[in-house]
Structure 1
């Protein structure tokens, strides 16, 4: 394993690999990518770590990719700020003893339950520096939103899983942490009933910061200022007064949503784990097909995200979706592509990007297409 200590050293390593057509597996904390080939050269970003700059007043953070997410969250908490898109720690379901890093979060566009309110990781990414598959050092974006002009390469890099370049620096927008929070739990609901509740709640002005379903219970998270949360809670309880409703306090809410985000309900299992992005209105029909396969599932993003753990091939899972994407997060013995093959137009655009940034296809080869 190679562990360059600087951007220049990383550039030289990749340029050499490009000239020799040597495949490289990009390794951060080792908590997001399975199945590296033993023939790959493994490159770690662990030594590319540390905070470059943090301006709480500007709500801007510049950090290197190998920095542990936990360190960033602790630093932001001291200023009553946070990464609002709340990235998940999936070590409980993926195994391993690595440490999640911010580079892995950005590379995977990892976004938690609050995405339906504040957007995904890529929506908080203001700028990037990275080394592409030729060894070129590239920079895009700025330190504040008003300076982000031209082609936004950050949006391209975010979610590319290291197939276009290796991040060396990311600029993220931070936001104030919620002052108050609570959760309304509505037990005894089917998926279709839960989606109806989500649709009604999300159509209100009450800033729902989480809408998830697990084991027959729908959860609505409310966040805001100290006086806002009780008011919003009262209004929502009045909307659903014909249903049983339990209130969960702030401490319980934080524990609950951490558990939902990190998929504790699938910890200790070994079956394939799938992440399905769908239209919320399709969730009821899709979960009905998944139930026929014999696995378990939960919902997030108001029904737009389904987690499925259980038997079934990629062909079966993708056939269950009228539209959307199915991504294999944990193989558990499953074969076939981890990512849904893109339609022809998207495939051509992706191929053009790869030819531009990694023409020799040495960076995480095959990860997103096999």
Structure 2
């Protein structure tokens, strides 16, 4: 078992990274250890965890900006925001159930993996909220990039590069990010009985209306019973969330039900029931089955999602549901990952990205769990890595 290093400050972390660089050793980066099993299996000399570098550094609700050390538990962040009636706009996914892991997610891990939930459709991804960072590169040098306001663009490219880099470019020690007011209420309109293609059209229609739909998902009949304890209406469920002031949500939801109810049965759920449903969608509840059956996260154009699924079903056993207006397809394979087939079909329907979120270690070792980069992008990526980590200290799960 690899040694576990838990520095308590940025300076200590920098010293550990310098020692690893000088000794030719590799480090696997970890926050709360909730995403073990994601990406390729790695063999590192030690695990460098950010959990000891914790605490909220600055938070002014009036500015709607928070700065926190990277190892701060996500729950602590959300509790502080809740007290001020605010929230993380991108609603980060909690990977523990689908990955079968324990521990506590950290705010640094959220941004290092760009973990974004259903509200990404309307509010952007995690990286879109990230304003500034502090991190230690592979030389053991502490670097600051970005600032507390979006118009301060100094180092903004480094901010974007580190977000979603999976700990392969640097060790995050501090993050500064925007937050938003928490909606007063929410309501989810449910359109029942649509097939995947019809649901895609309905979601596109709803998102095109001036009704501020904040999330749109489609739950086919095969998964519908695994949400809300099976208490959704009969038939496939196309779900559309509206949030905001109570009076506004009520008016907008009534208008949406009127427009969509002309062609299919329509119902609605509110507040905690609605919030619970969207947590289940965000956290991929149908596939939290304590197995290693392969689960893919497929990102394509919203109009292409159902076409990709239809083509795959001709050749492989799959179970799916859709988020992000049909553009995010959560896909569980009944046997092998079928990576080549999946990526060939995605390319045929306009391209996108397929990320293997869960599989056995053997499968993760045998195939590319992340979408292979085009040659020009791969060359540029390698140059960035050599610049930030010239000694290859940070173990790479994504190649």
Q: Normalising by the residue count of structure 1, what TM-score does the alignment of the two structures yield?
A: 0.96
Indicate whether 1:302 and 2:325 are aligned.
yes
1:25–1:36 Cα contact (<8 Å) kept: no
Q: 1-side partners of 2:54 and 2:62: how far apart? A: 23
CA distance, structure 2, for counterparts of residue 134 and residue 324 of structure 1: 34
Q: Are residues 1:166 and 2:176 paired?
A: no
Equivalences for 1:148-227 in 2 at 5 Å? 148-215=153-220, 216-227=236-247
Q: Write out aligned runs for 1:138-157 (5 A).
A: 138-157=143-162
d(CA) in 1 for partners of 2:114 and 2:256? 31
Please give the secondary structure, in 1, of the residue aligned with 2:5.
coil
Match of 1:352 in 2: 383
Whether 2:15 is the aligned partner of 1:12: answer yes
For 2:191 and 2:113, the matched residues in 1 are separated by 32
What's 2:122 paired with? 117
Distance 2:33 2:155 in 1: 33
Matched, 1:342 2:389: no
Deviation digits for residues 194-232 of structure 1 (CA, Å, limit 9, x no counterpart) = 110111011112111110111321110011111110111
CA distance in 2, matches of 1:11, 1:68: 21
What does 1:55-134 align with in structure 2 at a 5 Å threshold? 55-134=60-139
Q: Distance in 2 between matches of 1:331 and 1:289?
A: 22
After the TM superposition, which of the residue ranges 175-184 and 280-289 deviates more from structure 2?
280-289
Which segments of structure 1 move beyond 6 Å, counting only runs of 4 or more?
A: none
Q: Kindly indicate whether residue 302 of structure 2 is the aligned counterpart of residue 280 of structure 1.
A: yes
What is the aligned-residue RMSD (CA, Å)?
1.3
- Deviations 1:123-157, CA, capped at 9 Å, x for gaps: 10010000011111100111122333354311110
Residue 256 (structure 2) aligns with: 236
Please name the residue that 1:270 is paired with.
Answer: 292
Matches of 1:223 and 1:337 in 2, distance apart? 38
Matched, 1:248 2:269: yes
* C-alpha separation in 1, matches of 2:53 and 2:155: 27
1:54 pairs with 2:59: yes
Structure 1: 5+ residue stretches without partners: none
Deviation at 1:262, TM superposition (A): 0.8
Q: TM-score, length-normalised on structure 2?
A: 0.89
Preserved CA contact (<8 Å) 2:35 2:101: no
SS in 2 for 1:281: coil
Q: Rate the CA distance shift 1:145–1:135 in 2: closer, same or farther, 3 A.
A: same
Gaps of 5+ in 2: 221-235
The farther-off stretch of 317-326 and 109-118 is 317-326
- Measured in 1, the distance between the counterparts of 2:88 and 2:76 equals 12
Give the number of equivalent residue pairs: 368
- Output the CA distance in 2 between the equivalents of 1:171 and 1:39: 29
**Which residue number corresponds to residue 330 of structure 1?**
358
Distance change in 2, residues 1:207/1:344 (3 Å): same
Q: Which residue of 1 aligns with 2:343?
A: 318
Aligned-partner Cα distance in 1 for 2:43–2:160 = 31
Q: Distance in 1 between matches of 2:168 and 2:343?
A: 23
The answer (yes or no) to whether the contact 1:127–1:148 under 8 Å persists in 2 is no
